[in-house]
Amino acid sequence: MVGATDDFVVWKDFPKRLKILLLQKDEASAAETKSKLEEMDYLVSLYHSEEDALEAISKDAESFHVSIVEVTASDSCGTFRFLEMAQDIPTIVISDEHCLSTMMKCIALGAAEFLQKPLSEDKLRNIWQHVVHKALNAGGSVLSKSLKPIKDTVVSMLRIQSETSEHKIEEKVTEIDGKHGCEKTMANDRLSAPSTPQLERGRFPPDREFQDVTCCSVAKKLLQPRKSSSSASKSVENTCDNSISVANTVDALPSKAQHIAAEEEVNSVDGSKTDECSSVKAGSLPSNLHSVENIESHADDVQKKKSVLDYSYLNGGRNNRKKTKVDWTPELHRRFVQAVEQLGIEQAIPSKILELMKVEGLTRHNVASHLQKYRMHRRHILPKDQDRRWQPHRDTTARGCISRPILAYPPYHPNCGAPTNQIYPVWGHPNYRSHGVQMLGHAGYAAWHPPPQSWPWKTYPLVRADAWGCPVVTQYGQYRMSSPRSPMSSDFDMNGDRNEMFRESYDLHQVEMIDQLVKETMSKPWLPLPLGLKSPSTDVVLAELNRQGICTVPPATNAASPDPNDFCG
């Protein structure tokens, strides 16, 4: 729990005592604004000149949560300058002006909002939203002291809400503002603007999807399930419906009984458990599969990332009686396999698997069905593999494969913490293609993503984690003579950025061992290759020789080359 390590400070009566910098030259109206704000329990520091205001900011960036500055026809430059300088503080511009270009300029310079005078109470009251917005957008490391409690507060409130509604927090948050009795959306991590249509703030990173949520109706519209495409995009795009998401923590999942009770219901008739659109949900589940905490630690990431196990079924709400198919995405399958491995073959029964998987909304039937397929597939695949596995690769007497640690692993690691496919990561099939699911999990798992229409356990090129927990090295992808790196690391490279997480948790020891194995093998070419090591194909050898400037090859070299497709002799 992230919150457990950090000090989790909740702002009890937020937004009271929010610190506001007020920059207004006209003394009379400044006093008026100030008193209005103070009535709402905001703490106001009034300045009459940009210099003073800027100085105050520069002295201590933490002094203010939000600033309100007035722009006038006669002096807009000062305001612009302030906006430029005060990029770190949400700034609301107020004005008598109705000049569109002035408004534009202010917004372009980063103003959070442009409010036209006279300032109504409502307009002022809601300025806190900008602070929340800021707090949620600030990355964890950048989060200032003054914003931290606000973020914590928001998280806390959302958590309460989520618990109340018995829902996982998803990435869309509605009903933040009960006062207006309408739904505001935090879709893509933003709060809608308080009072006037809000333009995208120039200071936000440009990669954010522009989503101009300006009023309740729009927000609601955005949250409408897209009914027409129930089968087309069943996977991750929608959140207003039943979702199979990770029941991440015990507290998020009140009781096992409830979980099991819920199991068979989620997809059935009554949607009462899942009051979908008003639910508070948090996506962004990186590999560790936590939910609420991610609001804290990844609030800035929340917007784009989709829960890896966010199986959102269109139309899955109360009206839809038809069960929707479970999309056994790689992540879901990975959890399945992990559960199966953890249980061992004898104990791997649907109910237990389901329990271990901790995937909300998934039913025992779903698991049973998948298990059936899984077993059938295994039955089909395994005999071959076993043959292959025990088939001697040339001469195994000299370099028995069994003595190689990497080649002979205990078939099953109960509760070892790291699932076998984490220890023996595999990577994607060259044809690997994610169908729209952003793989946030362990990169090793990413490779479990079955290439379309195929099961993952038979397609990855390097290491095959046995479906029942006995990973077997079957084939090395590329053998590079010039750089005797571990074949794993060479494949890392091909895997791009997914490797970051992978690298992190991958057991370096294994890599070293393989590295050593490869080195040894290369240094003693007269010995037979250990099982799992494959001699380089003719093409690779020729290419490498060519690369090294050797263009003529004696015929004998060619003749000795094995069939590139035959990895085990």
Partner DNA sequence: AAAAGAATAT
Partner DNA sequence: GATATTCTTT
List residues binding DNA (CB under 7 A).
322-328, 349-352, 364-366, 368-373, 375, 450, 453-455
Peptide bond into 15 cis (omega under 30): yes
CB of 424 to DNA, least distance (A): 23
Q: Which is nearer to DNA, 246 or 362 (CB)?
A: 362
Q: Which is nearer to DNA, 428 or 532 (CB)?
A: 428
CB of 477 to DNA, least distance (A): 23
Q: Which is nearer to DNA, 322 or 433 (CB)?
A: 322
In 3D space, the residue among 71, 63, 60, 24 whose CA is nearest the CA of residue 43 turns out to be: 63
Q: Which is nearer to DNA, 8 or 455 (CB)?
A: 455
End-to-end C-alpha distance for the chain, whole angstroms: 50
CB of 215 to DNA, least distance (A): 37
Can you name the residues that pair with 246 across neighbouring β-strands? 359
CB of 347 to DNA, least distance (A): 9
CB of 373 to DNA, least distance (A): 4
CB of 330 to DNA, least distance (A): 10
Is the CB of residue 45 less than 8 Å from the CB of residue 64?
A: yes
Q: Which is nearer to DNA, 36 or 365 (CB)?
A: 365
CB of 454 to DNA, least distance (A): 6
Query: H or E segment at 95?
Result: strand 91-95
Q: Name residues whose C-beta falls within 8 Å of residue 227's C-beta, 6 or more positions apart in sequence.
A: 314, 315
Q: Which is nearer to DNA, 52 or 327 (CB)?
A: 327
Q: Which is nearer to DNA, 325 or 519 (CB)?
A: 325
Q: Which is nearer to DNA, 368 or 408 (CB)?
A: 368
Question: How many residues are present in the chain?
Answer: 569
Is the CB of residue 67 less than 8 Å from the CB of residue 21?
A: yes
Please state, in angstroms and as integers, the Cα–Cα distance from residue 474 to each residue in 140, 177, 372, 384, following that order.
42, 57, 25, 12
Name the H helices within 350-486.
350-357, 364-390, 420-423, 443-446
**What is the C-alpha separation between 170 and 187, in angstroms, rounded?**
10
CB of 261 to DNA, least distance (A): 10
CB of 327 to DNA, least distance (A): 6
The number of C-alpha atoms within 13 Å of 249 and in the hemisphere containing its C-beta is 15
* Interstrand relation of 113-116 and 91-95 (parallel, antiparallel or unpaired): parallel
Q: Which is nearer to DNA, 44 or 353 (CB)?
A: 353
Integer-rounded Cα radius of gyration of the chain: 30
Q: Which is nearer to DNA, 148 or 335 (CB)?
A: 335
CB of 323 to DNA, least distance (A): 4
**What is the C-alpha separation between 489 and 485, in angstroms, rounded?**
7
Is the CB of residue 170 less than 8 Å from the CB of residue 283?
A: yes
Which residue has 């949520």 as its token pair? Answer: 213
CB of 256 to DNA, least distance (A): 12
Q: Which is nearer to DNA, 321 or 509 (CB)?
A: 321
- Residue 181, sorted as left (phi over 0), alpha (psi -120 to 50) or beta, turns out to be left
The DSSP line for 231-295 is TTT-SSS--SS-EE-B--STTTS--HHHHHHHHTTTTSS-GGG--GGG--------TT--SHHHH
Is the CB of residue 235 less than 8 Å from the CB of residue 329?
A: yes
